Amino acid sequence: RYLKRAYEAVQKRGGLAIADEVQTGFGRLGSHFWGFESQNALPDIVTMAKGIGNGFPLGAVVTTKAIADDFNRSLYFNTYGGNPLASVVGKAVLEVIEEEKLQENSAIVGDHFLRQLAALDEPAIGDVRGKGLMIGVELVDEQGKPLAAAKTAAIFEDTKLVLFSAVQFRCSSIPCEISSVVDY
C-alpha cells in the first residue's frame, strides 16, 4: 500500500505524516471512517473539516500526545479556535453519523451508484471507479482516449460539474445520500 509505505518512509527520516481527511473522512468511503485506514496507514496528524460540521464552519486537527505537548510549548493563537458552538455542532454530527449508520450507508449507496454509472452505455464515459461515495468518472473521446482539456473546460462551463482533472470528474456525495437520489 502506497500511503502506508510513504508514511513510514517520512516517519523513519524524522518527519511527520499528515493525513488530509477533509474530503475522505467521516465515513464517506464506506469501508472505513478515515481514508488512511483503507491503506492500513497511521499518520501523526489528521486534518479534518467539512464533514465534521455538516455545513457549519468547523475544522479540526488531531495528533499524538507527544506532538500536542510540543505544540503547547509555544505560543499559538487562532481567532476561531475552541468555539463552543462549533464544538457542540461537531459532537452532534459525529453522533448522527454513528446513530444513523451513515458510514454503512455510504458503502451501500456508493456501491449502487458505481453499478449505475458502470451500466451507462455512454461512449463519453471511460473508467468508473470509487470507494463508497468518493467516485471518479473518466471522460473519453470517440476513440476512447482521455478527453482534451479544452473539452472538459467547456463541459465545466456548461454544467458547472466539479472537474478533478482534465479528464475526469469526481463525485463526492454526502454520506446521508440515498439510492433514489442516485437513480435520479
Write down the pLDDT at residue 162: 59
User: Rounded mean pLDDT of 2-30?
Assistant: 96
On the 0-12 / 13-18 / 19+ scale of CB atoms within 10 A, 36 is buried
Write down the pLDDT at residue 64: 96
User: Rounded mean pLDDT of 59-88?
Assistant: 88
Write down the pLDDT at residue 14: 97
Write down the pLDDT at residue 71: 86
> Would you place residue 28 in the very low, low, confident or very high pLDDT band (cuts 50, 70, 90)?
very high
Per-position b or e across 63-75, b if 16+ CB within 10 A of its CB: beeeeeeeeeeee
List, for residues 97-120, the tens digit of each pLDDT value: 999 999 999 999 999 999 998 898
Range with the largest mean pLDDT of 35-49, 64-78, 113-127, 148-162:
35-49
More confident of the two residues 75 and 117: 117
> Would you place residue 165 in the very low, low, confident or very high pLDDT band (cuts 50, 70, 90)?
low
The structural architecture, per CATH, of the domain 2-99 is 3-Layer(aba) Sandwich (3.40)
> What cell does 175 get?
454520506
User: Rounded mean pLDDT of 62-77?
Assistant: 89
Q: Locate the domains of the chain by residue range.
A: 2-99, 102-183
> Would you place residue 163 in the very low, low, confident or very high pLDDT band (cuts 50, 70, 90)?
low
CA dihedral 35, 37, 40, 46 (to 10 degrees): 80
Would you identify the CATH topology of the domain 102-183? Aspartate Aminotransferase, domain 1 (3.90.1150)
> What cell does 8 get?
513510514
Query: Is 37's pLDDT higher than 90?
Result: yes
Write down the pLDDT at residue 167: 60
